[in-house]
Amino acid sequence: MGKSSIKEACGKVVFAATAALCIAAAAAIFVFIIMKSIPALAETGLANFLFGTEWAPDANDVYGQPLAGSYGILPMLVGTLVATVCALLVGGTLGFFTAVFLSYYCKGKVKAVFTSVINLLAGVPSVIFGFFGIKVVMPLFNMLSPNGNSSGLLLTSVILGMMIFPTVASLSKTALEAVPQAYYEGALALGGTRDQAVFRTVVPAARSGITAAMILGVGRALGETMAVVMVAGNSPQFPEGLFSSFRTMTANIVLEMGYAGEMQMGALFATGGVLLVFVAITVILLSLVTSDKKSKGRGGKKFGFSLFNGRKICFAGKAFSFVSAAFALAFLAALIIYLLVMGLPHLSGQLLFGAYEYGGEISILPSVAATLMTVGISLVIALPLGICAAIFLSEYAGSRNPLVRIIRGAIDVLSGVPSIVYGLFGAVTFVTLLGGNYSIAAGSLTISVMLLPTVIRATEESLRAVPMSLREGALALGAGKLRTVFTVVLPSAMPGIIAAAILSVGRVMSESAPFMFTMGSSIQPMPEGAMSGGTTLAVLLYYLSGENLYTDEAYACACVLMLIVLLLNIAAEVAGRALQRKFQGEKNADKKSKRNRKKVLEQAKENG
């Protein structure tokens, strides 16, 4: 007995420690950004910085001398806020309704196809979204704009919305599917239509998961840089209309970092700091909203969801979920066709497999190697840590524990930290720790920290989806808590964990900002190991399109990137199915009983 209780205690400590690590990471990022921004804030004064309406930095400004430039970020602060809200309107709505469609209005092959579509969209690099925005969406919008160019709020919202859409859809779907089948059946039994059962019963029951999905979506929108830079227009002024050029705070950092002088650099760090505070406030507000509802209990009308009351409105919800799903499919099809048409003709043996030397013809082989190494290392680091933290949150921590609330907050904040800020953080911490040189190891460590919130959130949701009765059963049979977790809970949650892994791979593939300051950003020869520098495919893509000399190669590179994401998706899905079969021997029996139940239900419906 003594031995096993020690084991249990050790397990608990390990899980708690990994969860605590997340707080440490969040704290480190905050400390680092604040330290770097204080001198600049002292120079301008906090109020002038926050509420100044003119941003006209002078690269020659240094600390302790009169400033020649002006450093007010209010226009960009407002721009970021407005763009995020608009993107959430587009991407959140589409994502939510598509998740409903996926969970309740389709099955079998259609469902499998749509799920892959969403995973695939999550892996599309920002740079591609930006280019697609400029080349395909912008010409469509241009005729609406008074100056014939639609760079600005509307275009940014649409592109950004499509970028956060897969995050929202995928996580909302997990949340919706976690609602016990009995809720749905109960609603039908009480005489509701299927639509009413979905929108009045299942959706409200899944609202905490859906809110979490929205939080991550907001995080992605706030943190997005590369695509926004391409479509927002970037003049540092207030967004004055749908077609007015504006600049977000992340764009400000990435646009000026390379050129910045001492004072300007400090002001950019301070911009990052404001962004962090912004993220923290959003997270706290949203978590307050969700916990407030929880305390009122599950009954009664809920704000937001009370819209879906009458039969007709629920039916409209259903119709809209079909439209959303169709739109998602059309968008992805357009994106892929565009990439194939632009990229395939330029795929050549040299480009794919050739050796690269400076000045020679371009080859993407070194980048493919660097990308796969980064994916491998970061998953090995982020998945175990993330899963352990999720286990702590879901299996060990009481939801009232204040420490747990802090950890949750830290995770949400981490998810909102803009990728460019992670990059700067990695450049100062990991790069310095590893000897001051750009390396694949430093890039992988940086992106690992960035992956944690995605992994934790997705894993936690799927752990929560495991019925309590399974745990109770295992415990009743005399299994310890650790054993219950590892042999019963984790295997049942495997599909969700695999979804988390896929999302992570997609994220590593599509990010570029965190790598530019940690791994290097120009074309490099074959990496010799984890300590040599490298360029991931997405960064290479950004670089290749940089001076417009290699646009064709860039599209070919984008093509390859999409193919790799596609292959990874298929592999993950196959692995997921195999695992499920292995771990859930009882599944067939379960399926049969479910099928029977469904049949009975349908008969009952036809009769009634």
Instruction: Give the Cα separation of 393 and 99 in Å (integer).
Output: 25
User: Considering only residues 438, 464, 514, 541, which one is a binding residue for another protein as defined by CB under 8 A?
Assistant: 438
Which positions from 529 to 558 touch another protein by CB under 8 A, shown as an x/- string?
Answer: ----x-----------xxxxx-x-------
| Position 245 contacts another protein (CB under 8 A) | yes
CB-CB contact of 534 with 366 (8 Å): yes
For the bound state, the minimum distance from the C-beta of residue 234 to another protein, rounded and expressed in Å, comes to 4
Helix axes 419-428, 262-295, angle to 10 degrees: 120
Residue number, 96 or 132, with CB nearest to another protein: 132
Query: Of residues 256, 412, 553, 573, which one binds another protein by CB under 8 A?
Result: 256
* Closest CB 581 distance from another protein, rounded Å: 32
- 230, 131 in Cβ contact below 8 A? yes
One-letter-per-residue 3-state SS of 513-537? HHHHCCCCCCCCCCCCCCCCCCCCH
By CB under 8 A, tell whether 92 contacts another protein.
no
Backbone angles phi, psi at 332, to 5 degrees: -65, -40
Please pick, from the candidates 113, 181, 341, 357, the single residue that binds another protein as defined by CB under 8 A. Answer: 357
Q: Which of 30, 104, 114, 131 binds another protein (CB under 8 A)?
A: 131
Q: Does 260 bind another protein (CB under 8 A)?
A: yes
The minimum distance between CB 145 and another protein, in angstroms, equals 7
Nearer to another protein, 254 or 502 (CB): 254
Cβ 72 to another protein, closest distance in Å?
A: 14
Question: Is the separation of the CB atoms in 198 and 131 below 8 Å?
Answer: no
Under the criterion CB under 8 A, does residue 135 sit at the interface with another protein?
A: yes
- Based on CB atoms, which residue is closest to another protein, 264 or 454? 264
Residue 93 interacting with another protein (CB under 8 A): no
Question: Residue 390: which of 6, 14, 3, 19 has the closest Cα?
Answer: 19
Residue 211 vs 234, nearer CB to another protein: 234
Considering the complex, state which of residue 453 and residue 534 has its C-beta at the smaller distance from another protein.
Answer: 534
**Residue placing its CB nearer to another protein in the complex, 310 or 360:** 360
- What secondary structure does DSSP assign to 55-98, as a single string? EE--TT--TTS--SSEE--HHHHHHHHHHHHHHHHHHHHHHHHH
The answer to whether residue 134 forms part of the interface with another protein (CB under 8 A) is: yes
139 is an interface residue for another protein by CB under 8 A: yes
DSSP for 316-332, please give it: HHHHHHHHHHHHHHHHH
What's the CA gap between 135 and 130, in Å, rounded?
A: 9
Neighbour count for residue 259 (Cβ, 10 Å): 10
DSSP conformation class of 346: G
CB of 589 to another protein, least distance (A): 32
User: Scanning residues 206 to 235, which ones bind another protein (CB under 8 A)?
Assistant: 229-230, 233-235
* One residue of 66, 146, 191, 402 binding another protein per CB under 8 A: 146
Alpha-carbon span 123 to 288, nearest angstrom: 31
Strand partners, 246: 233
- The residues near 437 (Cβ < 8 Å, ≥ 6 apart) are 431, 531, 533
Number of residues that bind another protein (CB under 8 A): 59
3-state secondary structure of 391: helix
- Evaluate whether 387 touches 498 at the Cβ level (below 8 Å): no
Q: Taking CB under 8 A as the rule, does residue 278 contact another protein? A: no
Q: Which is nearer to another protein, 360 or 529 (by Cβ)?
A: 360
Measured from the CB atom, is 84 or 545 closer to another protein?
Answer: 545
Picking from 606, 548, 494, 511, the residue whose alpha carbon sits closest to that of residue 128 is: 511
Q: Is there binding between residue 56 and another protein (CB under 8 A)?
A: yes
Residue 99 CA to residue 171 CA, distance in Å, equals 8
Least CB distance to another protein at residue 521 (A): 6
Output the DSSP codes for 170-213.
Answer: HHHHHHHHHS-HHHHHHHHHTT--HHHIIIIIIHHHTHHHHHHH
Contact status: 296 vs another protein (CB under 8 A) = no
User: How near is the Cβ of 4 to another protein at its closest, in Å?
Assistant: 54
Select from 53-61, 380-388, 488-496, 507-515 the region that touches another protein (CB under 8 A).
53-61
Question: Cβ–Cβ contacts within 10 Å for residue 49, how many?
Answer: 21
The answer to whether residue 162 forms part of the interface with another protein (CB under 8 A) is no
Query: According to CB under 8 A, which residues from 446 to 505 bind another protein?
Result: none
Specify the amino acid at residue 452. Answer: L
Other Cβ atoms less than 10 A from the Cβ of 323: the count is: 14
57 binding another protein? (CB under 8 A):
yes
Q: Are 218 and 205 in contact, with CB atoms under 8 Å apart?
A: no
Q: How many whole angstroms separate alpha carbon 118 and alpha carbon 170?
A: 7
Nearer to another protein, 279 or 325 (CB): 325
Q: With binding defined as CB under 8 A, does residue 326 bind another protein?
A: yes
Q: Which stretch binds another protein (CB under 8 A): 35-43, 139-147, 501-509, 572-580?
A: 139-147
Instruction: State the minimum distance, in angstroms, from the CB of residue 135 to another protein.
Output: 7
Shortest distance, CB of residue 392 to another protein, whole angstroms?
40
Closest CA to 491 of 511, 476, 470: 470
Contact footprint for another protein (CB under 8 A): 56-57, 59-60, 131, 134-135, 138-139, 142-149, 151, 229-230, 233-237, 244-245, 247, 254-261, 315, 318-320, 322-323, 326, 357-360, 438, 520-523, 533, 545-549, 551
